Structure 1
Amino acid sequence: MPKSRKRKATVPAAPPPPRRPRPRMEYRARSDEAWYGARVVVQDGWLRVMFENSTEDADEWYNPGADFASLGDVEALRARFRRECPPLDHARCGDVRPGDKLCLACDIHGDVEELKYYDAVLETVERAAHGVEQCACRFTVRWTEGPRSGCLDKVGIEVVCCVPKSPIQDPVLSEFLDDLTKRFAEDQGTATAASQQADPTPMSEEELCGVLLSLKRAPNSSTGKP
């Protein structure tokens, strides 16, 4: 299981050296359905998802020959990726509105140092006067993912991240998904052509009448009479 993201400390500590470069995307893990920073590569035809600051045994793999049975499976994987969600800035808390999609830190096991991130929808905002560097507003949110899905919570800006609306742009991921989409489209076209050959279009009523009329006019094979 990938490591949870840690809440920012008041006094910044020296971060451990990252195993990989800082990601530009997030991925919803199959292990716990939480969002993590990640990047992808294709190895031997498989898609490998590598988590930020996690060891290799946490990586998740997708086999194009076994893990996808339809275009729906391809789109389901596409939905697991998105651009990185930036923290809500103290000076821009007024930009969020009810109905906005947010990503929030969720304290699951009572350990405030280890948090998992899940999506929620903003319900209401209690505005409070504050300066540029200090926001005291309170955000009522309804969780849409995670162990508190469907529940309402009131949180502060320190756990709020904004979900970007623009789609993820990653050439490795796009090529992998596009190849799968093309493969299923070609398979569908082949299946449709085979079905049409096996089940030709039935004759119209006019065509059927013409065939019957020609049979009536044909000579009797046994008597030679019309």
Structure 2
Amino acid sequence: MSHSGDDSLSDAAEECYNAEFRSYPDDAWYNVRVLFAGNSGDKMRVKYDNFSDDYDNIFIADCFKSAYEVYDFIGRFHKASAQLQDPDCSMVVKGMRVCSSDSFGNDDVRFYDAIIDEMLHKKHSYVNGQEECECTFLISWLHGPNVGNIIDKGVVNICLLQGSEILPKLVSFIEIALKKIDKALCKSVSATSNDLVALHKDNKGSPIVKWKPSSLECIRQVSLFVVICSSFFCLSM
């Protein structure tokens, strides 16, 4: 496939709500699409499926203060999960991570990650020639308002995770955010080092400068993670 064809496929994919985002306010997963807000690439808009533009989230690269915040942000995206189909319930096993729905009212259904705690298998029935799963899935919530609680769910409530490749626009935005953090951190370290050099001298007049490079190391690790995910995305196209 030609390079231009790859680009068109990538653009078409990002026009769809083919990703999920774990919202900051309620920690639940929602179907979203990602696009740039403006031309510089340092502002990203997250649009929610079946919600008006008033619910859009705007993220600005300058607002991330540490690589840890960027890493958390990356973890809030993944490829849209797939509804578990009745004939495929045997794919789900104990210890498997899934996405499951939880109801908070008549029209308030939200999705959270969970671990399969136990599978209670039952013989499937057939209605009008269609196989219907009657198994019970005991799940333990990993986040959300009921974190840690174990509850039983049916096949209709279970979705299968589909991978973690990152959308190209998200990769680009993250790279910009990391560069801004790196630049700000280097300035901060330079200023701090100068202060330490002025204050701390050993007997030979050599500067004694001690600081922990944990933040810079985290930036390197997150940058490597972005590169790996970006490469994985290209290979999967």
Q: Which runs of 4+ in 1 moved over 6 A?
A: none
Q: For 1:73 and 1:169, how far apart are their aligned partners in 2?
A: 17
Pick the structure with greater CA Rg: 1
Matched, 1:32 2:16: no
**SS class of match (1:116):** strand
Letter matched to residue 127 of structure 1:
H
Matching residue within 89, 92, 95 for 2:91: 95
Matching residue within 146, 150, 153 for 1:152: 150
Deviation at 1:195, TM superposition (A): 3.6
Q: Which residue is 1:126 aligned to?
A: 120
Q: Which residue is 2:228 aligned to?
A: none
Q: Which digits, 9 at most, give the CA deviation of each residue in 1:22-61, with x for residues without a partner?
A: 3110011223221110011121342211001211011111
Letter matched to residue 48 of structure 2:
F
Q: Which residue is 1:187 aligned to?
A: 184
| Structure (1 or 2) with the greater helix fraction | 2
Letter matched to residue 32 of structure 2:
A
Q: Which residue is 1:140 aligned to?
A: 138
Q: Which digits, 9 at most, give the CA deviation of each residue in 1:175-212, with x for residues without a partner?
A: 11111112212332333344444434845x7x57xxxx
Q: For 1:173 and 1:160, how far apart are their aligned partners in 2?
A: 27
Q: For 1:97 and 1:202, how far apart are their aligned partners in 2?
A: 62
What 5-or-longer segments of structure 1 have no aligned partner? 1-19, 209-226
Matched, 1:170 2:164: no
Aligned residue pairs total: 183
Q: For 1:43 and 1:178, how far apart are their aligned partners in 2?
A: 16
Q: Which digits, 9 at most, give the CA deviation of each residue in 1:134-175, with x for residues without a partner?
A: 2121100111222322211111101100123x3232011111
- TM-score, length of structure 1 as denominator length: 0.72
CA RMSD of aligned residues (A): 2.3
Q: Which residue is 2:50 aligned to?
A: 53
Q: Which residue is 1:71 aligned to?
A: 67
My pick for the range that moved more, 130-139 or 140-149, is 130-139
Deviation at 1:114, TM superposition (A): 4.3
Q: Which digits, 9 at most, give the CA deviation of each residue in 1:74-111, with x for residues without a partner?
A: 122112111111011222221222221111111111x1
Q: For 1:21 and 1:182, how far apart are their aligned partners in 2?
A: 27
Q: For 1:69 and 1:197, how far apart are their aligned partners in 2?
A: 22
